[in-house]
């Protein structure tokens, strides 16, 4: 039972990176980026082939960030410069990436042998966390990565560039009045979002030691559900006076600002726990995508949202 809990926490942390990316596109940019389902396996494909070829496992992290950023740039360029609708731009990128991922690994699947080191088994990690089992090392390393990404995002959102990014989804006219190109700001947001999604794919590859061409299917749904759950809980907590009743103790504020990134992490944990609970009840693993879709629908209905309300939350 303890191992299952640790594994669920680890998965929730890793997939929180996808939720960060979806939070940027949907809640901040108001951009339905379907390219996420292609960028996630892109990060995993690049990581798998690099590990097999003996590249330092830690180098796969920045490389995955870079290729994900490139994918986001392509989506943004198609939408902003070629004037293709945002939904179609994401579909075009996702479709193209499916073939690109197959070319990268020269097949639809690739397994990383146990003898190959990952970020969880490499010598520096073992030296620092040598007293822990592999299961605990995965949890600690994933936690550290998510905390670093969260703090970087929180800091970035407070900068001039981050404020412009937050403004372009709310009021693009305001951004233009500040003599800034709203199209460039959108591209910048898509680059950041897809870089994080590809990083998530990279870490999943390290954790599972495998790549599959279909592993990106449903990742957008997961990210959206985590965002909606997290933001709904945040709005409920801050809007009911509960924080005042606890004499100023406000976990969301204590964990950092802006609250959005913290809420996304909480949502990722809860959604992954719901999926794991459904599987633990005996539902077959090949029904996981159906379970994910049904849970997402329930989240929308229970939260009283139909999708639009999460924009600019």
pLDDT tens digits, one per residue of 144-158? 999 999 999 999 998
Cα–Cα distance for residue pair 91/17, rounded to 1 Å: 21
Q: Which tokens go with 193?
A: 């979002």
Q: Is the pTM of this model over 0.85?
A: yes
Write out the H or E segment, with its range, that includes residue 187: helix 182-208
From the list 32, 30, 63, the residue with the least C-alpha distance to 45 is: 63
pLDDT > 80? residue 176:
no
In which band, very low, low, confident or very high, does the pLDDT at 128 lie, cut at 50, 70 and 90?
very high
Task: Dump pLDDT digits (tens) for 225-266.
Answer: 899 888 888 777 666 544 444 444 444 443 334 478 988 999
Share of the chain above pLDDT 70, in %: 88
Report all structural domains of the chain as residue ranges with CATH numbers, in order of start. 2-310 (1.10.3470)
Q: Find tokens 């198609």 and name the residue.
A: 78
Mean pLDDT of the chain: 86
H or E segment at 171? none
pLDDT in tens, 44-103: 999 999 999 999 999 999 999 999 999 999 999 999 999 999 999 999 999 999 999 999
When pLDDT is averaged across residues 111-126 and rounded to a whole number, the result is 94
What single-letter DSSP state applies at residue 249?
Answer: -
């Amino acid at each position: 039972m303890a191992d299952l809990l640790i594994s669920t926490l680890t998965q929730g942390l890793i997939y929180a990176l996808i939720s960060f990316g979806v939070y940027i596109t949907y809640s901040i940019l108001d951009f339905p980026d379907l390219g996420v389902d292609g960028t996630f396996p892109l990060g995993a494909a690049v990581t798998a082939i690099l590990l097999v070829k003996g590249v330092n496992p830690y180098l796969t992290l920045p490389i995955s960030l870079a290729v994900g950023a490139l994918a986001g740039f392509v989506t943004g360029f198609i939408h902003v410069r070629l004037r293709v609708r945002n939904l179609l731009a994401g579909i075009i990128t996702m479709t193209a990436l499916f073939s690109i991922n197959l070319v990268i690994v020269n097949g639809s699947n690739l397994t990383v042998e146990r003898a190959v080191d990952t970020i969880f088994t490499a010598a520096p990690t073992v030296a620092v966390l040598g007293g822990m089992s592999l299961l605990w090392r995965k949890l600690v390393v994933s936690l550290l990565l998510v905390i670093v990404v969260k703090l970087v995002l929180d800091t970035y959102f407070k900068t001039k560039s981050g404020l412009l990014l937050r403004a372009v989804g709310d009021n693009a006219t305001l951004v233009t009045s500040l003599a800034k190109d709203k199209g460039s700001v959108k591209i910048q947001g898509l680059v950041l979002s897809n870089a994080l999604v590809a990083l998530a794919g990279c870490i999943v590859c390290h954790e599972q030691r495998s790549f599959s061409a279909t592993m990106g299917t449903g990742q957008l749904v997961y990210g959206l559900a985590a965002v909606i759950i997290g933001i709904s809980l945040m709005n409920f907590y801050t809007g009911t006076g509960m924080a005042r009743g606890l004499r100023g103790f406000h976990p969301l504020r204590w964990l950092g600002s802006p609250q959005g990134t913290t809420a996304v992490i909480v949502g990722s944990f809860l959604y992954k726990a719901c999926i794991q609970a459904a599987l633990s009840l005996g539902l077959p693993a090949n029904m996981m995508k159906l379970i994910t879709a049904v849970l997402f629908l329930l989240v929308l209905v229970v939260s009283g949202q139909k999708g639009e309300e999460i924009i600019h939350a």
